[in-house]
């Protein structure tokens, strides 16, 4: 879980000071161990509460909300300071990403994600593609906001079918 202690335990995200009632908590830093090395991630927000900067061990991502329907993310190498990727994101009316186009520093598209949402705003499909003939898809069925099944496809051929059940008696209780 998340800790509000002033000195976090290892692998515990650090939150901004306890917010006033009714105010969202925002993750500002996280440490975790990967392959024996401690990794740190830092997050900054703009005046509207949206992520403006995300920094990990290797790269810094800057989020430029150019309009209500378009977000440009620029990734720079932390060592050299050079741009090594851009992500052009289309946003729906709720502000969720519906399309994410990955481009090289030369501006060449080399990957794309498409995201589909249901009327309640839950993601129901992810499609990742290198080209129209080289792609994968994950589809999700939700009941009461919970994923109850998922299907995976590679190039249109189903490769996986999963069913999920929930033990609601063990649902986490608390403010998190």
* Structure confidence at residue 55 as a pLDDT band (50, 70, 90): very high
pLDDT at residue 22 greater than cutoff 50: yes
- Ramachandran region, residue 150 (left: φ > 0; alpha: ψ -120 to 50; beta: rest): beta
Who wins on pLDDT, 137 or 175?
137
pLDDT at residue 50 greater than cutoff 70: yes
pLDDT (average), residues 50-76 = 96
pLDDT (average), residues 152-173 = 87
Who wins on pLDDT, 89 or 32?
89
The C-alpha atoms of residue 30 and residue 25 are separated, in whole angstroms, by 14
pLDDT at residue 34 greater than cutoff 50: yes
pLDDT at 172: 65
pLDDT at residue 36 greater than cutoff 60: yes
pLDDT at 5: 36
């Amino acid at each position: 879980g998340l800790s509000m202690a002033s000195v976090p335990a290892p692998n515990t995200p650090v939150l901004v000071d306890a917010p006033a009632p009714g105010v969202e908590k925002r993750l500002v830093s996280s440490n975790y161990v990967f392959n024996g090395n401690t990794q740190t991630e830092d997050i900054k927000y703009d005046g509207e509460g949206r992520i403006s900067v995300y920094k990990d061990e290797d790269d810094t991502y800057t989020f430029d909300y150019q309009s209500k329907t378009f977000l440009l993310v620029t990734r720079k190498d932390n060592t050299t300071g050079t741009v090594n990727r851009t992500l052009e994101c289309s946003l729906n009316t709720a502000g969720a990403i519906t399309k994410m186009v990955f481009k090289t520093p030369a501006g060449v598209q080399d990957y794309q994600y498409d995201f589909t949402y249901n009327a309640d705003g839950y993601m129901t499909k992810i499609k990742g593609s290198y080209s129209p003939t080289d792609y994968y898809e994950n589809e999700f069925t939700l009941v009461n906001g919970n994923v109850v099944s998922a299907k995976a496809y590679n190039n249109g051929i189903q490769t996986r079918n999963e069913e999920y059940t929930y033990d609601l008696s063990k649902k986490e209780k608390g403010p998190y």
